[in-house]
A and B are shown apart, each in its own frame.
Chain A
């Protein structure tokens, strides 16, 4: 009994230790956004300017959209245009606001067995990989990055049937786990630039191809529709949107550097 009482007291102390901020909202974001480190720069500014604590749920695009549809978050920041448009069409958000873009990069073994480094376009690079039958690891998780990869295969004219499992491996995992797999098997992989720069277990991998506009990755902000989910913190979501459209946000986003490289290009409202 004495033990039980001790445990209870400890639990009480622990429970009491949770502190509170002024206003709070939840936003579902993709792994690539979180991995960029931009959030760590931006959210403290939001807290300062709006007295608003933004809690991030870091998930794949598919799950982020589901969270928004269920009303479990107040806003969604993702990068998969068809999914975003369907989200708006179904009334889960009243509108979609473009914020910024970054880009995807093709990573592979430094030796570049498929010779994609000098390719003329992303599609050509994908064709080279397929032609060489060089190992390629796909996210395979319906994420925005996965969808972007599929679009590149399509542009290269290589359909699902042609992607032989002998070299094409679907990891079914997040960006970090997929990069770990690629690092382990010395395979090619499509990643967003931020995740790549932040990835610590690079091993023999190197950035081999980037820059094709087909690899640009547009982020959009979707505040969840309070008409469908009355409990959402619509005021906070609106305030955050206004902040994202401000000059302050632009300066922060364009000025953000990771390892000396600019990651994001601000293009808000240009929809």
Chain B
């Protein structure tokens, strides 16, 4: 079959677009990579079958959750000790740059991310169960809920009849950890009790001033002694910044958001805003279309083929960034016989030790150290993020592999998922566009 023909053997004349960079995947790493490249002046096309994990993740940025002091210093130490870890490969400077670039990018798109500027430590943010998580950076409305220096009770607000948030469980667990906390139930104005809104649907109601004001009025009398007032993360979709600010004003106390069951509003807002911004920058964004084939010659990727509306379109670029999200988002496939493969370039993979699937999982889901399948499966890359074979030689010279496609960390247990996504996205763009890495130290 000739290279420019499709599965059915016929040629399709359309499909010519050429850009500097094609990013495949619309998770946090893909969006960040596309964003950096655009900000650096490159012509970018972003192609993805669907949205990435930001749509289900808590929304905050875990860089190195276990760090007790300065987060970047901890990453720096880790990178030195573990040169094969994604942080070792990308380097702590890429981590720092990646975070700052991401913050700037989000801000351009109209969303704010904060970190503890005064000491560079991790925050202490609560979950819907009242567990404390320790991300380095978070959407502003979540960062308001930092319990590090909290003095006084936290008031947690649930919505009667809404199935996705139960403040009592969080209150119990917060108290068990020495925090003061109380639960309050309020009613949602005009919500049909026979309709179960998803977080994103409820969030749209919170764009509306009459709606959130009615809630704030119910909360205000109970919030007098509260240090902070927490809500499930549904405070607005497009009007989020205003909603949070106005509610805090009306209640008279800082208002913060707590991650909900998926879909994740912080991730949803980010995806919407960034896409909007990219289109505005005249980048091409195609979410909802799978890349079905990559054309590779002599160790270079020439083009990718995208299926859309029953047609195959071919897109060309100088550089390709593979950010297809690993096992969860389809970047790596698995079958019942225990095979693992990367479907687009058939890249060499690191796989868990052992003969078959028996060694993929520990027998308890919440086993402290996580499952081998998630730590040990992925692509090995060099510090330029180029994929390597088993002998350690680069196999593609103009393809970078980033984010959860990489081996060597467990995104579910290691508390560094978003950090690695941002650091490797930054690094890949630096290499792809041959930008000079600014050395920064902190």
Task: Please indicate whether A and B come from the same complex rather than being unrelated chains.
Answer: no
Residues of B within 8 A of A (CB): none
